[in-house]
Amino acid sequence: QKLTTREPDDSMVACAIAALEPVLASDGIAVVQTTAHEPLTPEPTTA
């Protein structure tokens, strides 16, 4: 059995993000809109 390990192209990444956003929203997790190539800096958690 052969498995492919190629990096996804931009359309595959966009599809994955589009599928994940409603799931996060239904779990009450805010989705932050960013522009392409804008790095995300994680905020410290206060738990």
Structure tokens at 4: 């492919």
Residue 4 lies in a domain: yes
pTM score: 0.54
Residue 41 lies in a domain: no
> Which residue range is the domain that position 9 belongs to?
1-29
Query: What pLDDT is stored for residue 32 in this prediction?
Result: 75
Which of the four pLDDT bands, split at 50, 70 and 90, describes residue 19?
A: very high
For 30-44, write each residue's pLDDT tens digit: 877 766 666 667 677
The domain total for the chain is 1
Residue 1 lies in a domain: yes
Query: What pLDDT is stored for residue 29 in this prediction?
Result: 87
Which one-letter amino acid corresponds to residue 18?
A: A
Rounded to the nearest integer, the mean pLDDT of the chain is 80
Which one-letter amino acid corresponds to residue 11?
A: S
Whole-number percent of the chain with pLDDT over 70: 74
Distance linking the first and last C-alpha atoms of the chain: 45
